[in-house]
Amino acid sequence: MKHQLPGVYTASRKDRTAYYRASLTYRAKHISLGSYDTPEDAHRAYLLARTLLDDASFTLDRYSADSPLSFHKWICLINFRDNGIYFSSPIYIRPKFFYYYFSPSDYFIFDTEDLFYYSSRRISRRGGHYFVADYGMQVNIMSRYGIRNYAVEGKDYRFINGNRQDMRYENIEIINRYNGVEALSDGKTTRYRVKIHVKGNITVGVYDSETEAAIAYNKAVDLLKKAGVNKAYTPNYMEGMSPAVYADLYSSVKVSSGVRHYRCE
């Protein structure tokens, strides 16, 4: 590639038309800044990148939409300048947590223990859900907290401080961790109601413990499948429970007659 203005290199597309790439080296790290239609645009990106890396007065609040560098690249460069670590993800590190940015006002706050995970993965959004590509699969980031894909905020989990952008573990309370289980509280005691959906919701029962309720849901799934219900239910996984204990609870837990006597039409 032919060298032109500082930080600018000419490249060719498959149809042999030219475009221009901007890049620089900082602290022995070669950083690509993007592709541009003109050498002047690529050079402006290079100059801004040098300024961001050399001038600590350039902070995120100085970003504007007409910048020759994307906001994503601003984050990467400023974090490298301030913290000495370059990430390809839009991350800015603080002493006990880090920000993952989508825009200047749109970001998540994560615990430092999640830094390695998100520094090598991009978060994508679809229909209000947030996913990462993990070994070829789209994984909902809420699953890292034990929250099911279509759990309902306020019913199945809540943000303790009310900030939906604060994804630190200490800020997320799991209310209902199992499929089909809903906690019912009168302020003194908590019981657990189980429902399962066939053509409409069928109440399986109300139970004293969350564990009983989760197993009751599994039992309802098995009974409905035996009755000919062809639905892809997801059974509850009882982490740390031995097969013998599970079998005893499964045998003793009661489910409603609506489940036991269900017949497919």
Interval 227-247 mean pLDDT: 92
Q: Is residue 170 part of a domain?
A: yes
DSSP-assigned letters across all residues of 117-146: HHHT--EEEETTEEEEEETTEEEEGGGGGT
pLDDT for residue 176:
85
Stated pTM of the model: 0.80
Interval 91-118 mean pLDDT: 96
Q: Which two tokens stand for residue 43?
A: 């050079």
d(CA 215, CA 81): 52
Our separate counts of H helices and E strands in the chain read 6, 14
Beta-strand (E) ranges in the chain? Answer: 8-12, 18-26, 29-36, 91-93, 97-103, 106-111, 123-126, 129-134, 137-140, 157-159, 172-174, 181-185, 190-197, 201-207
- Count of structural domains, the chain: 2
Q: Quick one: 22 and 111 in the same domain?
A: yes
Q: Is residue 85 part of a domain?
A: yes
Q: Quick one: 168 and 233 in the same domain?
A: no
Q: Quick one: 255 and 200 in the same domain?
A: yes
Q: Which residue has the higher pLDDT, 177 or 89?
A: 89
Per residue in 242-263, pLDDT (tens digit) is 999 999 999 999 999 999 999 8
DSSP-assigned letters across all residues of 7-28: TEEEEE-TTS-EEEEEEEEETT
Q: Quick one: 52 and 118 in the same domain?
A: yes
Residue that finishes a domain, picked among 143, 174, 205: 174
Report helix, strand and coil shares of the chain as percent, to nearest 5: 30, 30, 40
Per residue in 10-46, pLDDT (tens digit) is 999 999 999 999 999 999 999 999 999 999 999 999 9
Q: Is residue 18 part of a domain?
A: yes
d(CA 86, CA 66): 24
Q: Quick one: 166 and 210 in the same domain?
A: no
Q: Is 237 left (phi over 0), alpha (psi -120 to 50) or beta?
A: beta
Q: Quick one: 25 and 90 in the same domain?
A: yes
**Distant-in-sequence, close-in-space partners of 139: CB < 8 Å, separation ≥ 6:** 131, 132, 133
Q: Quick one: 27 and 99 in the same domain?
A: yes
- Per the structure, the complete domain to which residue 223 belongs is given by 181-260
Q: Quick one: 170 and 111 in the same domain?
A: yes
Q: Quick one: 219 and 99 in the same domain?
A: no
User: Is the pLDDT confidence value at 1 over 50?
Assistant: no
| Angle made by CA atoms 35, 56, 25, in degrees to the nearest 5 | 40
Q: Quick one: 34 and 74 in the same domain?
A: yes
Within a 10 A sphere around the Cβ of 265, how many other Cβ atoms?
4
